[in-house]
A and B are shown apart, each in its own frame.
Chain A
Amino acid sequence: MSNERIECERVPDALDDYLAAHLPAATHAAFDTHVAECPECRALVADVRAIRAVARTLGPIEPPEHVWRKLRARVDVETPPRTSLLDRLGLTAFQPLAAAAVLALVVSGLSWVGVRLADTPPVPSNAGAAVALPEFELAEAEYTDAIARLEEAADAARPRLDALTSETLRSSIDDIDIAIGDARDALAREPGDALSQESLLDALGSKVALLQDTMAMLGNLEPATEEQIQ
């Protein structure tokens, strides 16, 4: 027979262990005795039991549909479509000959394009929290330099692109430029802000990736296209 006694002051701290039957047997028995004798603690235990029982049944709450629409718009601005130009032209992998025909004029004569993936600077990793300022500035400078060289090549190729491809590329780049502008504005207001730095590097990285994809696709298709046309 245990002589352990429970006072009211101990009840709140031990209540969860009591309700979960995690107390040592003697302590649990003393708790039972106290609850039976003390109306205040008996009411407390009953009420907490009732609150916990309902709390555990509170389930998911579906957000209003406009939340998805706003989110979609934010993500669209931050990230250009990563599909290939073939996808944007409505040409799938099952239409290689059609793709070749459409792109034949574009890629012919593009051997001058000296911009290759290997030539562009490594894309800095921007995962994680705050980027130290010199490292951030270095990454921004690398991106900016890569973008300038890629844009030069893309601008030279633009007259040879069909209107739809050219417009799709322009529209995607405009979206990214808006995101770049927003991030730079935010950094002007709050220099060193980690989220704005991350947003700017993300947007610059997206622009590099889009331009790289464009040039790589044009370069990679050239030999296959000629064979397929024959």
Chain B
Amino acid sequence: MRADDLELARRCREGDAAAFETLYRTHAGRLFGLLTRMMGSAQDAEDLLQDVFVQAHRKLAGFRGESSLGTWLYRLAVNQCLDHLRGKQSRMARTTDSLDAEDAHEPAAAAPALPEAIARIDLERAIAQLPEGCRAAFVLHDVEGLDHREVGAALGISEGTSKSQVHKARMKLRVLLRGAVTRGALEAV
């Protein structure tokens, strides 16, 4: 596997267009999924996906095979995404702050419970509506499976802040998903 990655990287470095297309076709889906959810916008994700592979094309000379090409590209994508989000940091701070403590302890018992099987499309739509700060933490933790220490390292925040941001995201998602369930029930009538 690693030998295949090194061979593919070597061919890309030498300007082999077919190899670069193979690199793109192999990894674009996973990275586009990550970027779409992190950014909350397919259009932004399209631009960033191009930037990631342009960066990869420039930096392949530095690829030594210490990790897989997939992992190497994944790190590039996360960093590219965070650079983009940091550029909008002030807005991110405002939107993150809009999730206040009331969301964290809303009277859940009074609201209808979420169905055990949430529709993926409803969750995708709800994730896109999350504020940027907690969305990034949620995507890395609950979708990508990073632990809070890893999320903290990726986002440059503490482990405790990662837990707090993921919790805020989940609380917001509960509200958004209940809305989706209610709308679905009304449409079924």
Q: Which A residues contact B (CB, under 8 angstroms)?
A: 8, 12-13, 15-16, 39-40, 42-44, 46-48, 50-64, 67-68, 70-72, 74-75, 78-83, 127, 198, 202
Contact = CB atoms under 8 A, between A and B. Distances in A.
Interface residues of B, number: 55
20 contacts: A15-B167, A16-B141, A16-B163, A16-B166, A43-B108, A46-B113, A51-B123, A56-B145, A58-B120, A61-B32, A61-B36, A62-B28, A63-B29, A67-B32, A67-B46, A71-B49, A74-B54, A75-B20, A78-B57, A127-B62
Most B Cβ at <10 Å: residue of A42, A79, A81: A79
B87 interface: no
Query: Chain A interface secondary structure, helix, strand, loop or mixed?
Result: helix
Nearest to A87: B15
B54 A52 contact: no
B176 to A, nearest CB: 10
Contacts of A44: 108
Pick the 3 closest A-B CB pairs, nearest first.
A82-B15, A60-B29, A43-B108
Contact of A60 (B33, B141, B142, B174): B33
Contacts of B141: 16
A100 B18 CA distance: 28
B118 A54 contact: yes
B164 to A, nearest CB: 8
Query: Chain B interface secondary structure, helix, strand, loop or mixed?
Result: helix
Contacts of B138: 55
B9 to A, nearest CB: 14
Contacts of B143: 55-56, 58
B184 interface: no
B163 A43 contact: no
B163 A71 contact: no
Contacts of A82: 14-15
Nearest to B119: A54
A46 B112 CA distance: 12
A185 B57 CA distance: 22
B108 A47 contact: yes
A127 B61 contact: yes
B124 to A, nearest CB: 7
B8 interface: no
Nearest to A20: B147
Contact of A62 (B32, B107, B167): B32
A99 B37 CA distance: 52
Interface in B87-141: 104-105, 107-109, 111, 113-120, 123-124, 138, 141
